[in-house]
Amino acid sequence: MKSGVLPICKPEGVSSAKVVSIVKKVSCSKKVGHMGTLDPFATGLLLCGINKGTRISRFFLNGSKQYKAKICLGIETDTFDCTGTILQNLPTLASLYNISEEKIIEIVNSFKGEQKQIPPAFSALKHNGKPLYKYAREGQDIIKPARDIEIFEILIEKIEIPFIHINVLCSKGTYIRTIASDIGKKLGCGAHLATLSRTETCGFSLEDAVELSNFETMGISEINEKIIPLAQALSFMPAHTVGIKSENKIRFGQKIGVEDGLPEESGFLRVLTKEGNLAAIVEYDKINHAFNYCCVFLN
């Protein structure tokens, strides 16, 4: 089985861990891991690292993500989404219709930009090694410090009271269900996240993804065709191609540097072979004027 990144379209009701288990079993891969979890009720793009692809997961964590979401006005839940316990009664539909579209647009648009966001109590973030949702289920609300996030774009697709359909482009660490709940608070009627689908992340689109049900019927050759090679998967990272001499340095763990043509620039750099394969990922050390290996992929 090839190494690389496999984009999967996760269906509703399946955990990210379950998807990883299915992909590993069907593909007969030694290693599989996802690159950013999706809640079981959410659908959409889940990137799976295959074999050596698991080594590059961390380079996807800081990337922006795009979502389609449906917010339900009038109902608050303890989880801020459709899986939670209702905390207040639904206002009459007539009262929701009294909220003008102009007001909804104004409130939704107010979430664009840099801001602080407190992670929800029902989340997979850990406190003393234990996920917050486990504390919440035991009746303990652990409040984590607010984190810096950014909403690059938040656009209303349509308004169908009691629902608001939005598209959100955001930074890492953003909880869309928290945004849904906060919109409800600002409108004075309460709200929760009814549906959520991730459509883009780190240059990958949902259009590129394989439906999980289709994946389970694929043969090994078909799966290999769907795996994005390592070098291509990291196309957002600068690249430099080296010759055989430099390849051998990498293969035997020897230092490479400006003598191999590498640019003295900060950040991560893909080092490619003449064939376009990923040989290594390095990071420039400004203090020591040297390149440090982050990952090596040559056998």
Q: List Cβ neighbours of 149 (8 Å cut-off, separation of 6 or more).
A: 114, 115, 116, 117, 170, 171, 172, 173, 174
**What is the rounded distance in angstroms from the CA atom of residue 40 to the CA atom of residue 15?**
4
Phi, psi of 12 (to 5 degrees): -70, 145
Q: Is residue 192 a contact partner of residue 72, using CB atoms and an 8 Å limit?
A: yes
Name beta bridge partners: 47.
7
**What is the rounded distance in angstroms from the CA atom of residue 65 to the CA atom of residue 170?**
6
Paired sense of beta strands 210-211 and 239-241, if any: unpaired
Tell me which residue has tokens 């990922």.
Answer: 281
Instruction: Give me the catalytic one of 39, 81, 141, 208.
Output: 39
Q: Write the single-letter amino acid at 277.
A: N
First to last CA, the chain: 16
The three-point CA angle 179-204-14 to 5° equals 60
Paired sense of beta strands 130-131 and 4-10, if any: unpaired
Query: Residue 39 catalytic?
Result: yes
Q: Is 146 exposed, middle or buried (0-12, 13-18, 19+ CB in 10 A)?
A: exposed
Show which residues are catalytic: 39
